[in-house]
Amino acid sequence: MSTVTPKDHLAPTPAALKFNTEEVESIIKKNLQNVIGQSAYAHEKTPQWARGIIEGCLDRLVKLSKPFKYIVNCTIAQKNGGGLYNASSCYWDNTKDDTCTVNWENKTMHVIVTVFAAGI
């Protein structure tokens, strides 16, 4: 007969400790909507928006209490007919590390947010 202690009930399951792309994507999208929403592109506001997006994402990611170090990158570009290309690369452990990228836009701007999660 096995005995279950209260501590055993509180231990997170292995699945709960994994990087959940859908969960992270939702965090990014909600944060983008809260910080920028339908605001028109304004060059002078981009540093404030980028900081708000990055800090908001990091705050919510840390509150998930998962075993990761996070890196958040944010690119904001005005929609003016110009091209935009964004690329990233990492050398990491495919069994523990992961990433999530969200491409978001409104009428006046494109925003690309990438979250890198490095397992610890």
List, for residues 11-69, the tens digit of each pLDDT value.
Answer: 777 777 899 999 999 999 999 999 999 999 999 999 999 999 999 999 999 999 999 99
Question: What is the C-alpha to C-alpha distance for residues 97 and 42, in angstroms, rounded to an integer?
Answer: 35
**Residue 1 pLDDT > 70, yes or no?**
no
Query: Per the domain annotation, does 10 fall within a domain?
Result: no
CA distances from 22 to 28, 61, 75, 97 (A): 10, 13, 21, 15
Query: Per the domain annotation, does 1 fall within a domain?
Result: no
Domain count, the chain: 1
Query: Per the domain annotation, does 72 fall within a domain?
Result: yes
How far out from the chain centre does Cα 51 lie?
13
Instruction: Note down the domain range covering 87.
Output: 19-119
Contact by Cβ (8 Å): 70, 117: yes
Please give the model's pTM, rounded to 2 decimal places: 0.87
- 61: domain CATH number? 3.30.1140.40
Query: Per the domain annotation, does 71 fall within a domain?
Result: yes
Question: pLDDT band for position 5 (50/70/90)?
Answer: low
Contact by Cβ (8 Å): 30, 18: no
